[in-house]
Structure 1
Amino acid sequence: MFEPVIAPSGTLLGLLQRGRGDGTLHALAAPRTEALAALAHCVTGDPRRDWQVENRSLYYARLYLDLHGGLGEIEAHLFCAADVLEPEESRTGLALAVLGHLASYGREDALLLLRRYAATGTNWAWALDELALRDDDAGLRALAAPVLGRFPRTPEGDAELAATVRDAFEPRPWRLWAEDPREEVGARVRAAREQGSFDRWQRQLRPAGPRPGWSVRAILDWAQDGLERGTELYAPAARCLTAVATPEDRPLLVRTARTGPDGARCAALHHLAGSGDPEALDLIETAAGDPSRTVAEAAVAAFERMCGEAAIERARRWAHRPGALGASAARTLACRGTARDAGLVLGALRKAVREEGPDAAALYPLVDGAGRLGIACAAPVLRHIYRETAASQLRGRTARALAATDPSFASGFAVECLWDCEETTREIAALHAETGDARVAERLRRLAADPAEEDEVQSAVRSRFDPDAAAR
C-alpha cells in the first residue's frame, strides 16, 4: 500500500484525513457537496498512517449521518475491478468498517451493501465480521451458501475452510451455520470446526522453529546462527540466558558483549542490560558506536531496557550526544526522569520536530514526557504537533500533554477534541473542555446518549454532569 497523500492541515480535506474534531465542525459548515466529496475521498482512500491501530470509521460514519450522505462512492469503491486486482484488506477495510457503524445506526442501505459484499467481494471476511455484530440471524443464514461456495469440495478447499473457521475473528456466523440442517452447510461447517480445533491442538503440541541448547555457549551460538540466516534472535536468546546463566558465566558474557560476533554480542548485551550488570552501560556505550548497524541498534535497544538510577544518570550524560544513543537517552529521561531533566526533554522534543517533522515516531515518548513533567514552555511546540501531525494517536497524546501544560487547552483544542476520531482523545476532551462554550454541553449530551460511544468516554462525560455518580 502506498503512503497516503495528506492535504495541508488548513484545508477541509486535510482536517478530515487527520480525523481532527475541527474536520467535522468545518464539514458541517461547508457546502454539503464539498463536504461529502472530501468525506468520500477519505473513506475510499484510507488516509491513516497505520490503518491497523488508528481509528477513523466511527468518525466518518457519524459525519455521513450528520450530512445525510449517500453511499454511492463507497459502493463504487467496493465493487470496482480493483477489488480483484488489489485484494489487500487495507484497500476496503475502512469502507467496510464505516458501513458497519452506519448499519448499527439503522442505515438499511449500509446493511444491504455489507451483505452484498460479503457474498461477492474479495475482502468478504471483514464484511462478515461487521455483519456478525449487527445483522440478524436470518440475514447471516442467507450468506451461508455464497460464503461456503468460495471453498471447493476438495481436500485443499476443505483445509482452507477449516483454517478460515479456526481463525475467524467473529465466530457467530459459523456457529449459526453449524446448526443448519442442510448437509452441504451444517455438516460441512461442523467438520471444518472440528478440523480447525485439531489443527490448533497439533500446533500446540509441535511448536515450529529451531530451539537452542540449554547452555550459555549454545544459546550464544544459536543467536549468531540466526543472524547469519537473516533472523535476529538476540531478544529471545537474552530471555533464554536469563534462565540458564550463572555468576560463573559472567566473564564469557562480558567478553562476548565486548568483542563477540554480532548475533552473540547482541544477545549478551541484552542479557547484561536486563540483569543490571555493572559493566552493561560501558559496554552499551562502546557498542553504540560500532560500525555494525546491527550491533549499534541492539545496544540502544538494550539501554532502553534498563530502568535503574544508574541508567538515568547515564542518560543525563548521553542526552547531549548526536545519534541514536543520544535520542534514546532523551526518551529515557522523558519516561523516567525528574523535573531536573525538563530542559533536556524539551530540547530533544524541539530537535525531533525540527529534524524529523510532526509525524516522527521519536515524538511519542517525548510528548508524553513533556506532559508528565509539566513543561509549560513546551506548549507552543505541542500545539504545532497537534495541528500538523497526520497520526491521530500522536495527536491524542499531544492533547493529553497540552492538558497538563497549556492553560488555554480547556477553552481551545479541548473543545474540538470532543469530535476527534480517537476515543482516548474524546475522553481527554470530555474531562477538560470548558462548558462555557455553547457547543460543549450539547456535544457531551450527545456522546452520553450514543450507543456506539466507548464506555470510558461516557464515564468521563458523566463525571462532568454528576461527579458523584461517576465515582460510584
Structure 2
Amino acid sequence: MSDEYAMRYAHPESVEGLLQRGRGLGAIRALQDPREAAVFVYDGIRRDWRWDETDDRSLYLARLVQDLELSPTPVVDQLAGDKECCLRACGVLELLALAGSDEAWDALRAYIRDGEHWVPVLESVSAAWPAEWWEDLGDVARARIGGEAELPWCSEPWTGFGIEVRSRPSVPHPSPAGLRTEELLTLLADNCTEDAVKFHALRVLNSREPAEELIPLVPSLGTADGRRPLPPLRRAVERLGAAAVPAAQGWAEDERPWLAQLGAEVLADHPGPEALPGLVEELARQWAARTWCGPDRTARRLARFGPDAADAVPYLRRFWLGTPHSYERTAYLEALAAIDRDGLNYVYTESLWDCEERARLLAITSAPAGPEALGRIAVLRDDPMETPEVRTAARARLPAPSGLRLS
C-alpha cells in the first residue's frame, strides 16, 4: 500500500476510521446508527482498506451487512468490477449465503454462468460452500473453460468436473504428514533430501510440539542456492523459544547472511534486562514514524519483561487503538496483558467484534463473564459464517444449551 493511499485513513476514533481498521468498536458503533454506517460498510467492500494481505476483512464486513440489515444488492453489483473488486464482493457474498441470504447465493451462481472472472469465483465458492451448492455447475464450467486463455492451476473443483488443469513438473514424494517426529528430523538431516520435501517436513513439525533436536540442523536448512532459509524455518525456530538462544549466538556470527540474521533475531527476541530501555525507545520511534509493519515484534519482545516494561504501555495502547494493520493488533493486546492488565476487560470485550480471528480467539478466553461478552460469545458459537476455530473456542467457553446440536 502506498503512503499516499495510507494517508486516506479516517481518524481512528471515527466510525469510518474504526471500520477501515476492522476494530470491534467500529462494529459496535455501527449497530447504534446503521444508516450512518452503511456507506462506510459498502466502501469497505468496494475499496481494499487492508494494510496487507495478512489482514482479514471479509467476515467482518459480511457480518456488518447482516447485522445492520443492509441490502446485499450493492455488493452484488460490485461483481461487475475488475478482478480484485469482484473477489472482495465474492468473499462477502459467499459468507452471506452461508448465513441464509438467497440473493447472495443466487448472485454468485449467476455470475459463474455469465461473469468475466468466473474462474476464481467458482474456485472460491467451492472452497467455502457445501458441495451440493455448486457441484451442479459442472456443465457450465465445461462449456466456459474453453473460452479461457489458460487452464486453471487449482485441482478443485476442476478435476471433479473432468477439466484438465495446469501442473508444474514435479517428482512425486510421499507426504511427510504421517511420519513420526523422529522420522521428520531424519529427513531434514539428510543432505540428499530435496528442498520441497524439507519444506513440507518443516510445516508438519510446526503443527506439533517443538522439537529441540531441530536446533543442530538449522544451519543446514537454507535453500539450495544458500541465499535464504527454507520458508517454514523461521516459525520452527521461533517456536523453540529460549532453547534456541545458545545456538543462536553462533548463528549470529555465521558468514551466511540468512543464518546470521536468523541468529540475531532469536537473540533479540530473548533480550536481557539491559535491552529494555532500547526496546521502549524503539517502540516510541516506531510510533512517531507511524511504522505499521513490525512493531508487533517489538511488542512481543517487551512482553517478556512483564511489569518492568511499564514505560512501553502508552505506546502499546496507541498502536492497539490506531494501527490500520489489523493483523498486528493482537500482539499489542498480548503485550499489554503481560505488562499491565489494568483496563483490559473492556478491550477484550470489544475484541469479540474484531475483524481478526486471532483477536476473537483471545477475547473468547479472556473477556469477563458479563452479559455483553457472553451474549457475543454465544453469537460466535452459533454463527455459520464464523471460522471453525472460533466456533470451537466459543463452545468451550459457553457450551450450547441442552438439546441444541451445533455443526
CA contact (8 A) 2:112 2:118 kept: yes
Q: Equivalent residue for 1:77? A: 78
Provide closer, same or farther for how the CA distance between residues 142 and 405 of structure 1 changes in structure 2, counting only shifts above 3 A.
same
Q: Equivalent residue for 2:272? A: 338
SS in 2 for 1:276: helix
Q: Equivalent residue for 1:276? A: 250
Task: Structure 2: state its 5+ residue gaps.
Answer: 173-221, 230-246, 400-407
Provide the rounded CA distance (Å) in 1 between the counterparts of 2:273 and 2:117: 51
Deviation string, structure 1 residues 290-312 (Cα, Å, up to 9, x no partner): xxxxxxxx95x553222xxxx6x
SS in 1 for 2:384: coil
Provide the rounded CA distance (Å) in 2 between the counterparts of 1:146 and 1:455: 29
Provide the rounded CA distance (Å) in 1 between the counterparts of 2:223 and 2:278: 29
Q: Equivalent residue for 2:26? A: 23
Deviation string, structure 1 residues 392-427 (Cα, Å, up to 9, x no partner): 111122122222223224322111101001111011
Provide closer, same or farther for how the CA distance between residues 450 and 145 of structure 1 changes in structure 2, counting only shifts above 3 A.
closer
Provide the rounded CA distance (Å) in 1 between the counterparts of 2:304 and 2:250: 26
For residue 428 of structure 1, the aligned residue among 339, 351, 362 is 362
Q: Aligned-pair distance for 1:173?
A: 5.4
CA contact (8 A) 1:410 1:434 kept: no
Q: Aligned-pair distance for 1:364?
A: 2.3
For residue 226 of structure 2, the aligned residue among 234, 238, 250 is 238
1:39 matches 2:13: no
For residue 452 of structure 1, the aligned residue among 366, 385, 389 is 385
Deviation string, structure 1 residues 337-396 (Cα, Å, up to 9, x no partner): 134432222121112222x2151x231210111223322332211110011100111112
Provide closer, same or farther for how the CA distance between residues 13 and 240 of structure 1 changes in structure 2, counting only shifts above 3 A.
closer
Provide closer, same or farther for how the CA distance between residues 407 and 277 of structure 1 changes in structure 2, counting only shifts above 3 A.
closer
CA contact (8 A) 1:15 1:22 kept: yes
Q: Aligned-pair distance for 1:147?
A: 5.9
Q: Which is bigger in relative contact order (C-alpha 8 A, separation at least 6)?
A: 2
CA contact (8 A) 1:118 1:143 kept: no
Q: Which has the larger radius of gyration?
A: 1
Q: Aligned-pair distance for 1:174?
A: 4.0
Provide the rounded CA distance (Å) in 1 between the counterparts of 2:99 and 2:291: 35
Task: Structure 1: state its 5+ residue gaps.
Answer: 179-188, 206-233, 242-272, 284-297, 312-330, 467-472
SS in 2 for 1:412: helix
Q: Percent identity?
A: 27
Question: What is the root-mean-square deviation in Å for CA atoms of aligned residues?
Answer: 3.2
| Number of aligned residues | 328
The structure in which a higher percent of residues are helix is 1
Deviation string, structure 1 residues 420-472 (Cα, Å, up to 9, x no partner): 01111011111211224x31111112122223333443444345447xxxxxx
Q: Equivalent residue for 1:305? A: 262
SS in 1 for 2:116: coil
Provide closer, same or farther for how the CA distance between residues 174 and 68 of structure 1 changes in structure 2, counting only shifts above 3 A.
farther
Deviation string, structure 1 residues 107-161 (Cα, Å, up to 9, x no partner): 1100111112222333322321233132554754236336642424xxx96xx23
TM-score, normalised relative to structure 1: 0.62
Q: Aligned-pair distance for 1:45?
A: 0.7
SS in 1 for 2:369: coil
CA contact (8 A) 1:423 1:457 kept: yes
CA contact (8 A) 1:447 1:461 kept: yes
- Paired AA for residue 65 in structure 1: Q
Q: Equivalent residue for 2:375? A: 442
Provide the rounded CA distance (Å) in 2 between the counterparts of 1:91 and 1:151: 24
CA contact (8 A) 1:58 1:98 kept: yes
Provide the rounded CA distance (Å) in 2 between the counterparts of 1:18 and 1:415: 17
1:93 matches 2:87: yes
TM-score, normalised relative to structure 2: 0.71
CA contact (8 A) 2:380 2:386 kept: yes
1:461 matches 2:394: yes
1:403 matches 2:337: yes
Q: Equivalent residue for 1:172? A: 157
Provide closer, same or farther for how the CA distance between residues 275 and 399 of structure 1 changes in structure 2, counting only shifts above 3 A.
closer
- Paired AA for residue 115 in structure 1: R
- Paired AA for residue 346 in structure 1: V
CA contact (8 A) 1:55 1:422 kept: yes
Bigger Cα displacement from structure 2, 415-424 vs 65-74: 65-74
Provide the rounded CA distance (Å) in 2 between the counterparts of 1:275 and 1:406: 31
Provide closer, same or farther for how the CA distance between residues 122 and 8 of structure 1 changes in structure 2, counting only shifts above 3 A.
farther
Provide closer, same or farther for how the CA distance between residues 140 and 173 of structure 1 changes in structure 2, counting only shifts above 3 A.
farther
SS in 2 for 1:149: helix
CA contact (8 A) 1:43 1:94 kept: yes
